[in-house]
Amino acid sequence: MMTLKTAKGTELPINWIGISDFDGSLRFETTEADMPELFRIFNDPQHTNCLTRVFDEAEKDFEGYTFFKGIERMGNGCTVVRLMKG
């Protein structure tokens, strides 16, 4: 299972994460359904200044994505969050 951990220690399950070739935004999809809570977390630079993808034993850091760009509920019930470097 893949998870995303924020700088303040909040963890949530994710399906995928990546940086867009189009605009350089960091995007990820989560099964977490509480959109107000997702907005509260990912609109807070103290959470997003370092995000860590954890997949089995491997970790990858995404640093500096502190500008909240959007959140969207997809047709499959998952939520996509988009952040930009601030």
Distance of CA 4 to the CA centre of its chain: 7
Residue 16 — very low, low, confident or very high, per pLDDT cuts 50/70/90?
very high
In terms of phi and psi (left: phi > 0; alpha: psi -120 to 50; beta: otherwise), the region of 42 is alpha
Per residue in 33-66, pLDDT (tens digit) is: 799 999 999 999 999 999 999 999 899 999 999 9
Q: Is the pLDDT of residue 29 over 90?
A: yes
pLDDT higher for 86 or 68? 68
What pLDDT sits at residue 32? 86
86 or 45, which is more confident? 45
The pTM (predicted TM-score) of the whole model is: 0.92
CA 28 to chain centroid, in Å, comes to 5
